[in-house]
Amino acid sequence: MVELQQMLDGHIRPEPIVGQHRIGIDWLGSPILAPLVIALMMAWKFVGYYALLFLSGLESIPKEVYEAAEMDGAIGWKRVWHVTIPMLYPSFYTVTILAVGLMFGIFTEPYVLTGGGPEYATHTWQLEIYNQAFEKLNAGYGTAVAIINSIVTFASIFVFRKVLEKWGGKHGWE
């Protein structure tokens, strides 16, 4: 009844709803759920940026291509599958490469939310670099981890680029 009275008074706060009636899921304390929470947070953080990249890709598709596809009999899903998606290949390529590069640079979210825990489930390369260089004052080890992180990041991006180029070339989407 207190919650209803507070809502009617215009004082809507989460404490009466969430604080007194606890939801029994420890989102950041579970080694299984904590990485999922951070992954969802990162996806939410960058979904607008990636949507803008896809929007610019959609706007760059010439109307003449759609007209030609319509004259060839491609309507509805055929037009989406055979015209729109192949023409969005550069956007897919860019978003994939950016996401792979971002994957190796996550620091703030795990540091603030969990500090790398629980049970090192959200411990990232960047957290290890920070812990070694600034908390344990082991700058040499932190630098070595940073260099290895850079090499692995560049190698991963290189592999993803080659796979995407081969896949795009196979489907004629370059």
Residue 168 has pLDDT above 60, yes or no: yes
The CATH number linked to 45 is 1.10.3720.10
Instruction: Tell me what pLDDT residue 24 has.
Output: 73
Give the dihedral of Cα atoms 160, 163, 169, 174; nearest 10 deg: 0
Nearest-angstrom CA–CA distance, 151 and 130: 18
Asked, for residue 1, whether it belongs to a domain, the answer is: no
Q: Where do the H-state alpha helices sit in 13-138? A: 14, 33-59, 63-71, 77-79, 85-87, 89-103, 108-113, 125-130
Q: DSSP secondary structure string, 60-73? A: TS-HHHHHHHHHTT
Average pLDDT over residues 164-168: 85
Asked, for residue 12, whether it belongs to a domain, the answer is: no
Q: What is the pLDDT of residues 59-80, one digit of tens each?
A: 999 999 999 999 999 889 999 9
Q: What is the pLDDT of residues 8-55, one digit of tens each?
A: 555 555 555 555 555 678 889 999 999 999 999 999 999 999 999 999
Q: Which domain holds residue 86?
A: 31-170
Q: What is the pLDDT of residues 75-127, one digit of tens each?
A: 899 999 999 999 999 999 999 999 999 999 999 999 999 999 899 999 999 99
Q: Which residues, other chains included, contact 118 with Cβ-Cβ below 8 Å and sequence gap of 6+? A: 28, 29, 30, 31, 34
Asked, for residue 129, whether it belongs to a domain, the answer is: yes
pTM of the full predicted structure?
Answer: 0.75
Asked, for residue 14, whether it belongs to a domain, the answer is: no
Instruction: Tell me what pLDDT residue 162 has.
Output: 93
When divided into structural domains, the chain yields a total of 1
Asked, for residue 68, whether it belongs to a domain, the answer is: yes
Asked, for residue 77, whether it belongs to a domain, the answer is: yes
Neighbours of 30 (CB within 10 A): 15
Asked, for residue 21, whether it belongs to a domain, the answer is: no
Supply 136's token pair: 């344990």
Asked, for residue 63, whether it belongs to a domain, the answer is: yes
Residue 161 has pLDDT above 80, yes or no: yes
